[in-house]
């Protein structure tokens, strides 16, 4: 059992550094989960800390670093069929964000925020949080001025969303263009040539618009012409996907496949196809986008372009912490992958 020389002496980081054979700064970094400290060194420091019955005084540590030790995760409310108001795509990402915050010694404050609230005054200026993570704000054009003002005031923030030229701040996002292209290329390999697209393509929906660009490029590369009647607008809800599919059927235009710009849209389309007596995949093959767990239990199970939400959560937190600690940060684009299931006629594979 390790002991300090004076029973009245309360163990501190200097005691741990001495007994672990490292510097005091290394102890501090290890205790707050800095990934630059090796696993072996961190475990040695934590073992010494346990034997000395040492506990981190988060308030004192925060005062020294002028940090709250907290990150704020701001959601934009989505229309959902349950009471969560959170797009199910973000559920697994939220778990990854929480775990990564914990590993780095940060608490997480989660809040719904509309576009009218003063985020900076609410969080960084009031010392509630050291930085902001924005989820669900895909239409950043509508609040670009707010982001630019926050950045001009020195706010630390990172957003999940499409990487666009000259966008303000730092973003982590998926390669939506590649995702759209691989979805349509898969359908083309199956012999489908009349492929409908369901989703928004306006500048206000940059992620879906890039998925549409991938769809269009795949068709053009295959020598197929783009038919406007096969493009239907829809927001990311099951109801919108079902309504768009019914409109497509009313147009009386031939199609043998659907690429939906989100899994929720695809799931809504699956229901509408079943109601119309169309068989999936025999009559119509369907591919979604996102990789939400719900897609694996639809009937038939949904083929999808899956985004790596676990990695996304890790990168969002690590990028924000790097900003807070004054390190250089860059935009990050994550690669999607195709997960083939029954809605395209194949056994599950990825």
Residue 203 · residue 209 · CB < 8 Å: yes
Torsion region of 199: left, alpha or beta (phi above 0 gives left; psi -120 to 50 gives alpha)? left
Residue 119 · residue 74 · CB < 8 Å: yes
CA 336, CA 174: separation in Å to the nearest integer?
Answer: 7
What single-letter DSSP state applies at residue 335?
A: P
At the topology level of CATH, where does 70-173+309-334 sit?
Answer: Rossmann fold (3.40.50)
Report CA 254 to chain centroid distance, whole Å: 35
Reduced to 3 states, what is the DSSP secondary structure of residue 289? strand
CATH number of 176-308+338-344: 3.40.50.2300
Paired tokens of 177: 């263009």
Paired tokens of 55: 């506990």
Residue 133 · residue 97 · CB < 8 Å: yes
CA 6, CA 4: separation in Å to the nearest integer?
Answer: 6
CA 349, CA 341: separation in Å to the nearest integer?
Answer: 7
CA 196, CA 249: separation in Å to the nearest integer?
Answer: 11
Q: Where in the chain do CATH 3.40.50.2300 domains reside? A: 70-173+309-334, 176-308+338-344
Bridge pairing between strands 231-232 and 257-260: unpaired
Residue 257 · residue 187 · CB < 8 Å: yes
DSSP lists the bridge partners of residue 73 as 110, 133
* Predicted TM-score (pTM) of this structure: 0.77
CA 130, CA 132: separation in Å to the nearest integer?
Answer: 7
Best CA proximity match to 94, nearest among 308, 309, 296, 322? 309
Class of domain 13-56: mainly alpha
Q: What is residue 62's predicted lDDT score, i.e. its pLDDT? A: 46
CA 101, CA 42: separation in Å to the nearest integer?
Answer: 17
Residue 303 · residue 291 · CB < 8 Å: no
CA 161, CA 174: separation in Å to the nearest integer?
Answer: 7
What single-letter DSSP state applies at residue 43?
A: H
Reduced to 3 states, what is the DSSP secondary structure of residue 330? coil
Reduced to 3 states, what is the DSSP secondary structure of residue 264? helix
Q: From first to last of its 350 residues, what are the pLDDT tens digits of the chain? A: 444 444 456 777 788 888 988 887 688 777 766 666 788 888 888 888 888 887 665 544 544 445 668 898 887 755 555 555 677 888 889 999 999 999 988 999 888 765 555 655 566 555 678 888 988 755 556 667 777 777 777 788 899 988 877 777 899 999 999 999 999 999 999 999 999 999 999 877 889 999 999 999 999 999 999 999 999 999 999 999 999 999 999 999 999 999 999 999 999 999 999 999 999 999 999 999 999 999 999 999 999 999 999 999 999 999 999 999 889 999 999 999 999 999 997 655 44
């Amino acid at each position: 059992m390790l002991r300090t020389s004076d029973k009245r002496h309360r163990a501190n980081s200097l005691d741990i550094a001495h007994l672990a054979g490292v510097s005091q700064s290394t102890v501090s970094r290890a205790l707050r989960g800095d990934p630059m400290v090796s696993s072996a060194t961190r475990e040695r420091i934590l073992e010494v800390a346990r034997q000395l019955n040492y506990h981190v005084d988060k308030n004192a540590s925060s005062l020294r670093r002028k940090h709250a030790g907290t990150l704020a995760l701001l959601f934009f409310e989505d229309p959902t069929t349950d009471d969560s108001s959170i797009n199910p795509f973000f559920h697994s990402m939220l778990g990854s964000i929480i775990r990564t915050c914990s590993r780095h010694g940060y608490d997480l404050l989660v809040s719904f925020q509309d576009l009218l609230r003063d985020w900076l005054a609410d969080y960084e200026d009031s010392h509630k949080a050291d930085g902001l993570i924005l989820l669900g704000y895909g239409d950043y054009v509508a609040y670009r001025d707010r982001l630019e003002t926050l950045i001009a005031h020195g706010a630390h923030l990172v957003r999940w969303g499409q990487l666009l030229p000259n966008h303000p701040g730092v973003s982590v996002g998926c390669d939506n263009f590649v995702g759209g292209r691989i979805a349509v290329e898969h359908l083309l390999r199956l012999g489908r040539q009349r492929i409908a697209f369901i989703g928004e393509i306006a500048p206000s929906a940059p992620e879906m618009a890039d998925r549409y660009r991938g769809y269009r490029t795949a068709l053009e590369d295959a020598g197929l012409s783009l038919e406007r009647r096969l493009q239907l607008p829809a927001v990311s809800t099951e109801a919108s996907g079902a309504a768009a599919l019914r409109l497509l059927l009313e147009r009386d235009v031939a199609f043998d496949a659907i690429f939906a710009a989100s899994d929720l849209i695809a799931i809504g389309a699956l229901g509408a196809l079943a109601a119309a007596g169309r068989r999936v995949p025999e009559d119509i093959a369907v591919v979604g986008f996102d990789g939400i767990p719900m897609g694996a239990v639809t009937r038939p199970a949904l083929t999808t372009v899956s985004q790596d939400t676990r990695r996304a959560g890790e990168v969002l937190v690590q990028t924000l912490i790097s900003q807070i600690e004054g390190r250089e940060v860059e935009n990050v684009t994550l690669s999607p992958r195709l997960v083939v299931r029954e809605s395209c006629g194949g056994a599950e594979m990825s």
